């Protein structure tokens, strides 16, 4: 009888231990919001998830990637708790945290920065037959300024305003997603499109590879200077034409730009943010090889351009690694 009681006790103990182990081992899933599949955000989400999923057993963490409408969509989805992480333009990070532009009067105080990634240029792609050689030539043209969830729409509106162009009165403005822009340009349904994006990328390659010849529109220095003076998050940039064989421009094209950044919410646990940060930085050389738009990345550059407070999980890693 004592034997029987002991057996029952042991069985129960085993059961408790097994179910506890199960709880501790439960995999935590996080989703990274990106952009259109032919941009750089989507493969960037893939690169980050590859780093952390390689250590799935150690962290019990699995990251998946979602194609989305872009920066504004990602911020809002993270703040609503629908996504855990997202790739977001540095200007959007600033605006959301401080309550300007799309978040006028609604500062997103729980937005947190994790790290910065590649530089992005405001890229104005036009059909050569439309004769658009400067921003002023956009008047009267069919121009995709970007879908409302995108990062580029705000950059297009800032640029048009600085150039004295009213997008409602002076343009036939479209609000379509970046992934559809190249096809629409080649089908002669638009004359030009804006895309704030790292180079090289699939969308611009697709636009340049078609039968309708394409040029990048240079942004006048005076307008760039005005924008850089007016907003803390803009910097002058250059679009490297060598990355796009077939484009009509012969020399690199001046523009302005921002940085792609990786963001999350203050509600995401420190250990999750720590794990992702650590895996990206500890595997930096491998990470850098995953996309040609990362060619200029350094660990130091990945700590520059953040506009919201750094998440404590990321900060823990930066302190440990002597980066902060």
Q: Which CB sits closer to ligand GLU, 144 or 152?
A: 152
CB 316 within 8 A of CB 272: no
- If the CB atoms of residues 123 and 215 are measured against ligand GLU, the closer one turns out to be 123
49 or 71: whose CB is closer to ligand GLU?
A: 71
Q: Which residues does 180 contact at the CB level (< 8 Å), separation at least 6?
A: none
Smallest separation, CB 323 to ligand GLU (Å): 25
CA 145 to chain centre: 17
Distance in angstroms (rounded) separating the CA atoms of residues 301 and 281: 12
Question: Across 172-315, where does the E strand assignment appear?
Answer: 172-174, 192-197, 214-216, 235-239, 253-265
**Least distance to ligand GLU, CB of residue 39, Å:** 2
The count of C-alpha atoms lying within 13 angstroms of the C-alpha of 30, restricted to the half-sphere facing its C-beta, is: 29
Which C-beta is closer to ligand GLU: that of 159 or that of 275? 159
Nearer Cβ to ligand GLU (42/59): 42
- Widest CA span in the chain: 96
Q: Tell me how far, at minimum, the Cβ of 41 lies from ligand GLU, in Å.
A: 3
Binding residues (CB under 6 A) for ligand GLU: these are 35-36, 39-41, 70-71, 89, 120, 150-152, 196-198
- Closest distance between ligand GLU and the C-beta of residue 121, in Å? 10
Q: How far is the CB of 193 from ligand GLU (least distance, A)?
A: 12
Nearest-angstrom CA–CA distance, 92 and 201 = 21
How large is the C-alpha radius of gyration of the chain? 23
């Amino acid at each position: 009888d004592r034997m029987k009681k002991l057996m029952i006790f042991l069985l129960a103990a085993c059961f408790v231990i097994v179910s506890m182990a199960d709880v501790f081992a439960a995999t935590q899933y996080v989703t990274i919001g990106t952009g259109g599949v032919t941009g750089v955000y989507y493969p960037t989400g893939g690169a980050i998830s590859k780093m952390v999923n390689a250590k799935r057993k150690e962290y019990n963490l699995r990251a998946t990637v979602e194609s989305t409408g872009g920066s504004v969509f990602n911020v809002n989805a993270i703040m609503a708790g629908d996504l855990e992480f997202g790739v977001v333009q540095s200007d959007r990070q600033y605006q959301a945290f401080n309550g300007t532009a799309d978040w006028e009067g609604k500062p997103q105080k729980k937005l947190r920065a994790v790290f910065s990634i590649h530089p992005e240029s405001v890229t104005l792609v036009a059909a050569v037959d439309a004769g658009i050689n400067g921003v002023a030539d956009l008047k009267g043209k069919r121009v995709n300024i970007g879908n409302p969830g995108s990062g580029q729409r705000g950059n297009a509106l800032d640029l048009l305003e600085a150039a004295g162009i009213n997008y409602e009165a002076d343009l036939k403005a479209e609000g379509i997603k970046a992934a559809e822009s190249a096809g629409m340009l080649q089908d002669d349904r638009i004359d030009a499109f804006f895309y704030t994006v790292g180079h090289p990328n699939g969308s611009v390659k697709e636009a340049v590879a078609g039968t309708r010849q394409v040029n990048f529109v240079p942004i006048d220095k005076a307008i760039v200077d005005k924008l850089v003076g007016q907003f803390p998050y803009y910097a002058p940039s250059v679009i490297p034409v060598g990355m796009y064989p077939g484009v009509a421009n012969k020399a690199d094209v001046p523009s302005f730009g921002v940085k792609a950044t990786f963001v999350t919410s203050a509600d995401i646990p420190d250990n999750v943010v720590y794990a992702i940060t650590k895996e990206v930085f500890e595997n930096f050389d491998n990470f850098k090889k995953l996309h040609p738009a990362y060619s200029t990345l350094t660990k130091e550059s990945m700590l520059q351009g953040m506009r919201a407070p750094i998440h404590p999980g990321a900060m823990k890693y930066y302190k440990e690694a002597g980066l902060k």
